[in-house]
A and B are shown apart, each in its own frame.
Chain A
Amino acid sequence: MSPARRKIAWRLPGQYLLVVIPPYIWLLLFFVIPFAIVFKISLAESAIAQPPYTAFYEYVEDVLTFRVSFANYLFLLTDSLYFDAYVSSLRIAAISTLICLVVGYPIAYGIARTQGPLQSLLLMLVILPSWTSFLVRIYAWMGLLRNNGIINSVLMSLGVVDEPIRMMNTEFAVYIGIVYTYLPFLILPLYANLVKLDNRLLEAATDLGAGPVSRFLRITLPLSMGGVIAGCMLVFIPVVGEFVIPELLGGSETLMIGKVLWGEFFNNRDWPVASAVATVMLVLLLIPITLFHRYQFREMEAND
């Protein structure tokens, strides 16, 4: 404990500590320690052993030796596969987030402006799909998008197309899967933000001569920016590391870092490289997370 910490703890009453400590213990047990282990492995070298990497330190004849190697990180630079996978992941995540925003904003706005019991019903409809298994829903999409799937069957029986449109194992299918899965994560924070919007501000804008478009662009949109950013982060961050959707719907064509990570761990059994891939991904994601927190902090300050 640092002196500052100790001072705070000293001043805080016991019950308060009881509330504050558990989240920190949680973070320590399930984030800090696992990440430290992953980071440690990323500094080791691959070995045919159990576990399959060299030890972090050795204690032989009263001498403590640390074995630290940055070779894995350098290796990531030498093979363009990793760079391409990172770029491709970020691109797919960015585009899906944008699609989610374009689709989700009107839905969130519509729900926020709805009055009474209909509002709860609409919210329920947004959440309802996540009550079934995620995997089952992705398999359902496979059934829809396959060459002999429902969509192609209908299109062909109607005579719209002569041969099936190839949708499975394309990036298109990946986008469908991601947008479908992550849309509620964008709608809910955005809804929570939009529902707080003070209607009197819109009336004031009207009174000052603003029409519907101007009201939206100059009042509603800027005031909902907190919700937009929160929603986008909740979509963007997990999508960058997404593995299941590109694996099942994208096939070999889609290159994403989650799949590379899987390959390193389970196919190559190269834990150190896989750990390095994971560490770099986390560092990459720290940038948007930090920006988000800075924005949120500013927002909170403004609302005080």
Chain B
Amino acid sequence: MTETTAITLKGPTSRAPSEAAGYIELVGVSKSFDGILAVNNVDLTIRKGELFALLGASGCGKSTLLRMLSGFEQPTTGDILLEGRSLTGLPANQRPFNMMFQSYALFPHMTVAQNLAFGLKQEGKGKREVETRVAEMLERVQMTAYYKRKPHQLSGGQQQRIALARCLIKRPKLLLLDEPMGALDKKLRTRMQLEVANILESVGVTCVMVTHDQEEAMTMANRIAIMDGGRILQVGTPDEIYEQPNCRYTAEFIGSVNVFDGVIVDDEVNYVNIASPQARNTLHIGHGISGFAGQPVSVAVRPEKIQISLERPAQPFNCEAGEVDDIAYLGSHSVYHVKLESGMDVSVTAMNDERWAGERLTWHDKVWVYWDEHSAVVLTS
């Protein structure tokens, strides 16, 4: 294994109602298909009651990880623990976990009520209990009026609620969501993200979701794990992942970012100066980092942390001259693409907070871009 600074198990306290840590633990879990590693030595702790998202591009191993949790796949090596007990060898139909499939996989020959009752009947629950719990669950997802319908008579959003209800009715110890919004159109997606998150919160179920959509992960999840190449690169709350990415992949995967490559020139206790061929002036970071002079690093700055102005700012560092190359007007804000003198393209976001902007920047304006000493992040990998 190459060393990665990646896996941070002791993330800061999340918003989730976390009791004792380690409700579900993955210990050194790997999975290979025909000798190719799909999941590579993953250690992960999921806390009770949290909504945890596995985020990554397609083929990063997130779905395989989810299928191992569900029991459809068994890890090649490593172990998955639920409250300290190993789940290895326990088949999917005996795990107290339920999965909402991306396609929902509602049974087309059964009504809504029969779909919900299916799981309870498998447990051998009595007729009366099944009926009350189905009625309760329909109430909770506000689908009582539709209990007699067949899945094909429901809209996409309604199908999703039924798929969710079919899982929740089993009162699973862990709910798995596979690309939960993947089958919905964009407008409905935003609404259902909040709706599903609300239902999950009201039930209080522990939940692991897989998604490639960072917005979805950030809207719904308490904590996010960024995956690439079968590994987990970083685990943290949405704002930690966004504001404190620990590697270049994470920084570039979540949101957009400007990255300067350079080397450390001054490495002091309370500041660091970095020289980059992509920047004329020194890149100054207002806090110490664990590095050494001469170490190659990257400096990442988010577009919204950068100011743009026609006048030269007072600060001697973190400021660069350039020319407005392109403007993307997005209504509430605009993204300016500025070509620096070094030839690097920097994107800058600015709020359009005035309705009539006579003085707004335009193409080919000579501008200065600058940011303060706490706005950039130093990435060592």
> Which residues of chain A have a CB within 8 Å of any CB of chain B?
198, 200-201, 203-211, 214, 218-219, 222-223, 302-304
Contact of B166 among A201, A208, A210 (CB under 8 A): A208
Q: Which residues of chain B have C-beta atoms less than 8 A from A303's C-beta?
A: 152
- A213 to B: closest C-beta gap in Å: 11
- B242 to A: closest C-beta gap in Å: 33
User: Do residues B93 and A209 form an inter-chain contact, with CB atoms below 8 A?
Assistant: yes
Nearest B residue to A200 via CB reads B105
Please list the 8 inter-chain residue pairs (A to B) with the smallest Cβ-Cβ separation, ordered nearest first.
A209-B122, A208-B119, A204-B105, A200-B105, A206-B93, A206-B92, A222-B109, A207-B99
The complex places the Cα of A150 from the Cα of B99 at a distance, in Å, of: 57
Check A203/B105 contact, CB under 8 A, given A208-B98, A209-B119, A210-B93.
yes
Nearest B residue to A198 via CB reads B105
Q: Which residues of chain A have C-beta atoms less than 8 A from B123's C-beta?
A: 209
Q: Which residues of chain A have C-beta atoms less than 8 A from B91's C-beta?
A: 206
B110-128: CB near A (< 8 Å → 1, else 0) gives: 0000000011001100000
Contact of B93 among A207, A223, A302 (CB under 8 A): A207
User: Do residues A201 and B107 form an inter-chain contact, with CB atoms below 8 A?
Assistant: yes
B249 at the interface (CB under 8 A from A): no
Nearest B residue to A301 via CB reads B152
Check A204/B101 contact, CB under 8 A, given A209-B170, A223-B109, A302-B108.
yes
Residues of B in contact with A, size category: 20 to 34
The complex places the Cα of A284 from the Cα of B129 at a distance, in Å, of: 47
The complex places the Cα of A218 from the Cα of B118 at a distance, in Å, of: 9
Nearest B residue to A219 via CB reads B107
Nearest B residue to A222 via CB reads B109
Q: Could you give 30 example pairs across A and B, Cβ below 8 Å?
A: A198-B103, A198-B105, A200-B101, A203-B72, A203-B92, A203-B101, A203-B105, A204-B99, A204-B101, A204-B105, A204-B106, A204-B107, A205-B118, A206-B93, A207-B97, A208-B93, A208-B98, A208-B118, A208-B170, A209-B123, A209-B170, A210-B122, A211-B93, A218-B118, A222-B109, A223-B109, A302-B108, A302-B109, A302-B150, A302-B152
Check A207/B92 contact, CB under 8 A, given A200-B103, A214-B122, A302-B150.
yes
B237 at the interface (CB under 8 A from A): no
- A205 to B: closest C-beta gap in Å: 7
Q: Which residues of chain A have C-beta atoms less than 8 A from B103's C-beta?
A: 198, 200
Which applies to chain A's interface (DSSP): helix, strand, loop or mixed? helix
Identify which of A209, A214, A302, A304 gathers the most chain B CB atoms within 10 Å of its CB. A209
Contact of A304 among B72, B122, B152 (CB under 8 A): B152
Nearest B residue to A218 via CB reads B118
Given A211-B93, A304-B152, 12 new contacts (CB under 8 A) = A200-B105, A201-B105, A203-B72, A207-B93, A209-B93, A209-B94, A210-B122, A218-B118, A222-B109, A223-B109, A302-B152, A303-B152
- B306 to A: closest C-beta gap in Å: 46
The complex places the Cα of A111 from the Cα of B37 at a distance, in Å, of: 31
Identify which of B91, B98, B109 gathers the most chain A CB atoms within 10 Å of its CB. B109
Q: Which residues of chain A have C-beta atoms less than 8 A from B347's C-beta?
A: none
Q: Which residues of chain B have C-beta atoms less than 8 A from A201's C-beta?
A: 105, 107-108
User: Do residues B118 and A223 form an inter-chain contact, with CB atoms below 8 A?
Assistant: no
B214 at the interface (CB under 8 A from A): no
Nearest B residue to A210 via CB reads B122
Chain B residues numbered 113-165 whose CB sits less than 8 Å from any CB in chain A: 118-119, 122-123, 150, 152
B278-298: CB near A (< 8 Å → 1, else 0) gives: 000000000000000000000
The complex places the Cα of A303 from the Cα of B151 at a distance, in Å, of: 10
The complex places the Cα of A205 from the Cα of B152 at a distance, in Å, of: 18
Nearest A residue to B97 via CB reads A207
Q: Which residues of chain B have C-beta atoms less than 8 A from A304's C-beta?
A: 152
Identify which of A204, A219, A304 gathers the most chain B CB atoms within 10 Å of its CB. A204
B40 at the interface (CB under 8 A from A): no
- A177 to B: closest C-beta gap in Å: 36
Q: Which residues of chain A have C-beta atoms less than 8 A from B70's C-beta?
A: 207
Q: Which residues of chain A have C-beta atoms less than 8 A from B122's C-beta?
A: 208-210, 214
Chain B residues numbered 55-91 whose CB sits less than 8 Å from any CB in chain A: 70, 72, 91
Nearest B residue to A204 via CB reads B105
The complex places the Cα of A204 from the Cα of B101 at a distance, in Å, of: 8
Identify which of A201, A207, A302, A303 gathers the most chain B CB atoms within 10 Å of its CB. A207
The complex places the Cα of A222 from the Cα of B72 at a distance, in Å, of: 24
B32-51: CB near A (< 8 Å → 1, else 0) gives: 00000000000000000000
The complex places the Cα of A207 from the Cα of B94 at a distance, in Å, of: 8
- A193 to B: closest C-beta gap in Å: 13
The complex places the Cα of A303 from the Cα of B108 at a distance, in Å, of: 9
- B151 to A: closest C-beta gap in Å: 10
Q: Which residues of chain B have C-beta atoms less than 8 A from A205's C-beta?
A: 107, 118
The complex places the Cα of A214 from the Cα of B152 at a distance, in Å, of: 23
Q: Which residues of chain B have C-beta atoms less than 8 A from A203's C-beta?
A: 72, 92, 101, 105
The complex places the Cα of A73 from the Cα of B125 at a distance, in Å, of: 58
Q: Which residues of chain A have C-beta atoms less than 8 A from B99's C-beta?
A: 204, 207
- A130 to B: closest C-beta gap in Å: 32
The complex places the Cα of A205 from the Cα of B122 at a distance, in Å, of: 9
The complex places the Cα of A219 from the Cα of B108 at a distance, in Å, of: 9
Q: Which residues of chain B have C-beta atoms less than 8 A from A218's C-beta?
A: 118
The complex places the Cα of A204 from the Cα of B93 at a distance, in Å, of: 9
Q: Which residues of chain B have C-beta atoms less than 8 A from A223's C-beta?
A: 108-109
The complex places the Cα of A304 from the Cα of B150 at a distance, in Å, of: 12
- B167 to A: closest C-beta gap in Å: 8
User: Do residues B152 and A207 form an inter-chain contact, with CB atoms below 8 A?
Assistant: no
The complex places the Cα of A219 from the Cα of B152 at a distance, in Å, of: 16
The complex places the Cα of A108 from the Cα of B105 at a distance, in Å, of: 23
Identify which of B98, B105, B170 gathers the most chain A CB atoms within 10 Å of its CB. B105
The complex places the Cα of A203 from the Cα of B123 at a distance, in Å, of: 17
Nearest A residue to B118 via CB reads A208
Check A207/B98 contact, CB under 8 A, given A200-B103, A218-B118, A223-B108.
yes
